[in-house]
A = this chain, B = another copy of it.
Amino acid sequence: MCSFISDTLRGMDLPFPALWLRDNCPCPACRDPRSGQKLHTVADLDGEVSVAASAESGGTVSVHFTDGHVARFERDWLDRHRDVDAAGDGRTETGKDLWDRVAPPEAGWAGFRADPRPALDALWRTGFVLLRDTPVAPGTVLAVARTFGHVRTTNYGELFDVRIERQPGNLAFTSRAIAPHTDNPYRDPVPTLQLLHCLRAAADGGGESGLVDGFRAAVLLRDRHPEHFAVLSRMPATFAWGRLSAQRPMIGVDEIGRIREIRYNNRSLQPLAGPREGLEAFYAAYRAFDALLNRAGAMVTFGLGPGDCVIFDNTRVLHARTAFDPRAAADRHLQGCYADLDAVQWLVARTQVAAG
């Protein structure tokens, strides 16, 4: 059994197991000062270690362990680790600003180049940002992605052109309306960011873009129909395209129930298999979630003019577009690419573990 510092320092109320304290010793022999990386494994430590003595002085708690090691912790640091941080890593519902038809966060290209952090902070918390006045030149979407992150190349290439094709391999390349969806749900991991950059708009103004907060719709589903939320978060759905497939739930929650990832795409959803009762429950839940995603007041819509670039979180925000007249829109041309959220986190995170 472990001993606890609270056993020897009852007045301090530091409810940490001795092994937790030993493992988290911040001294340079335990944690590399340059990288912040831990230098021992859990097997290097005595599993039966206990606290031999301890004392607090000037905001520092010194702990002498039975293995002979001495650790010195800042009292503030220990206090901060008493309770679970509700925001987690910032990727679940608890770290986001959820919305209904929010005013799009915007940034001009010049300002973004000077300091991308306000726009990226909006992208991180709101789930999307609109960049205005970027260059109207092919390939700009890649340049935008590379100002802050790294392009995720897929079988579609580094970038993809969204325009009407004669023999489209994907419905994105037609003039059809496209219902709110996330991209590439048949891929695991999905690209966590998508960028769409406008080179030429449709002459009739059709082909407007729309975004919906999937986390908000999932929260509403959980509030109003917890039985449907349970089905969509616990039942793996298969999405497939070509030879790619992924079997993942429409509403991904983490181990303690926080909404973390939405996968939603009617076009690539495959037939569910299983007992009839499960299929019935799935369709009831699917219809209820679809109704919430398409509820009045959920979607923010905007036109993308030449030089506009929208960046959105593909694990949370669904995108859609209205239909357009293929004659008026023969020249409509967007370019898109994928990237990942880690680069955004790197720029917007408020804390870091070491000089890194």
Residues of A in contact with B (beta carbons under 8 Å apart): 2, 4, 6, 15-17, 19-20, 23-24, 32, 34-43, 47, 80-85, 88-89, 91, 150-155, 167-171, 179, 187-190, 192, 233-236, 238, 240-249, 254-256, 266-276, 279-280, 283, 286-287, 290-291, 294, 340-343, 345-347, 349, 351-356
Contact = CB atoms under 8 A, between A and B. Distances in A.
Contacts of A268: 37-38, 353
B15 A275 contact: yes
A30 to B, nearest CB: 11
Contact of A242 (B17, B91, B353): B353
Nearest to A88: B247
Contact of A83 (B243, B274, B341): B274
B153 A150 contact: yes
A290 B35 contact: no
Contacts of A84: 273-274
A69 B5 CA distance: 71
Nearest to A238: B89
A64 B351 CA distance: 61
Nearest to A254: B236
Contact of A267 (B16, B38, B89, B248): B38
A190 B89 CA distance: 14
B271 A24 contact: yes
Query: Copies per complex?
Result: 2
Contacts of A248: 254
A247 B168 contact: no
Nearest to A179: B41
A171 B39 CA distance: 9
B244 A35 contact: no
Interface of A: prevailing SS: loop
A283 B17 contact: yes
22 contacts: A6-B276, A17-B283, A34-B168, A35-B169, A35-B170, A35-B267, A36-B242, A37-B241, A43-B179, A80-B273, A81-B271, A81-B272, A91-B188, A187-B342, A235-B255, A236-B255, A243-B345, A244-B345, A244-B349, A245-B349, A247-B254, A248-B254
Contacts of A270: 353
A163 to B, nearest CB: 16
Given A83-B273, A244-B346, 7 more contacts: A38-B267, A41-B266, A41-B290, A42-B283, A42-B286, A189-B192, A236-B254
A42 B189 contact: no
Contacts of A294: 43
Contacts of A81: 271-273
A2 B280 contact: yes
Contacts of A356: 169, 241-243
A30 B303 CA distance: 29
Given A276-B16, A343-B155, A255 B233 contact: yes
A268 B36 CA distance: 8
A192 to B, nearest CB: 7
Contacts of A192: 188-189
A244 B85 CA distance: 16
B246 A89 contact: yes
Nearest to A348: B243
A289 to B, nearest CB: 9
A48 to B, nearest CB: 11
